[in-house]
Amino acid sequence: MTVGIFDSGLGGLTVLDAVSRRLPEMTFIYLGDNAHAPYGVRDADDVYCLTKSHVQKLWDMGCDLVVLACNTASAAALRRMQEDGVPKGKRVLGVFVPLIEALTERTWGDNSPPREVGVKNVALFATPATVSSRAFQRELAFRAIGVDVEAQACGGVVDAIEEGDMILAEALVRSHVEALKRKMPHPQAAVLGCTHYPLLQEAFQAALGPDVQVFSQADLVAESLADYLDRHPQMTGADLPARFLTTGDPKRVSDRAMQFLRRKIAFEAA
């Protein structure tokens, strides 16, 4: 039973790590488009074309279900892919759904009118492309009213992570949090709207302060995927061996992955 996981680079490994712990009986084929990372500075059409081609590759390999473990791809490509038509027997899921479920405390299948929720002031940290898409605000508005979202485009953070420069990445986090607080001095909650950002969750929390609840996606996506597969067991796909694929340099990407996850991962060329 195999599920595909796609990301623009290394960030989706945070999701892979979480879903592997939650679903130990499953195998996963991970595909990172490191050659074109980061997606967060690309325009929507470019992100759509890149995402669609790599999801198709995972479908062709036998993964009936593919998770877009990338907020930029989820924001810029997912809805368009679904509107264009997904092949029969195939599915593609994004990472916004579990996050908004947690934030609004309502399930995705709850189609009742939007209502007030406990959190009123939310800080969104994301890539420039995700921020400009306003996809998070749009999906949130379907389910909640009275929530003020202040978005901060975190330029440079993904690049620093992909390059393995965590000192620079942490400095950038502090700078972006300071910029956000100038616009929203007292957020109640903060959303890490990029799957790279859980690698810096402690830095975000330290900069925001202990009173701000930080929502990170990896564990939320893992729990949501487990629930989805329980309701749609036919989407588990063929029984394929686990693989790690990259469009970048396999050795370099493997070294970076080991640095982040503290375990050896051997990538191969996609």
Compute the Cα dihedral for 178, 183, 185, 190 and give only its sign: negative
Q: Which residues pair with 149 in a beta bridge?
A: 122
Q: Is the pTM of this model over 0.85?
A: yes
Q: What is the CATH number that goes with domain 2-96+218-269?
A: 3.40.50.1860
Is 3.40.50.300 the CATH classification of the domain at 105-216? no
Give the DSSP H/E element, type plus range, for residue 47: helix 44-60
**Torsional sign, CA 87, 44, 105, 110:** negative
Q: What is the pLDDT of residue 109?
A: 64
CA distance 12 to 27: 15
Q: Name the residues annotated as catalytic.
A: 70, 194
Q: How far is CA 78 from CA 51, 56, 170, 208, 244, in A?
A: 9, 13, 30, 30, 22
The predicted structure's pLDDT at residue 60: 96
DSSP letter at 264? -
CA gyration radius, the chain: 18
Helices and strands: H and E segment counts in the chain: 12, 12
For residue 1, the model assigns a pLDDT of 81
Q: Which segments of the chain belong to CATH 3.40.50.1860?
A: 2-96+218-269, 105-216
Note down pLDDT in tens along the chain; length 270 residues: 899 999 999 999 999 999 999 999 999 999 999 999 999 999 999 999 999 999 999 999 999 999 999 999 999 999 999 999 999 999 999 998 888 888 888 775 677 888 899 899 999 999 999 999 999 998 898 889 999 999 999 999 999 998 889 999 999 999 999 999 999 999 999 999 999 999 999 999 999 999 999 998 899 999 999 999 999 999 988 889 999 999 999 999 999 999 878 889 999 999
Distance of CA 34 to the CA centre of its chain: 15
Joined together, the tokens standing for residue 263 give: 């375990």
**CA distances for 246 relative to 74, 165, 167, 198, angstroms:** 19, 20, 25, 21
The whole-angstrom separation of Cα 201 and Cα 196 is 10
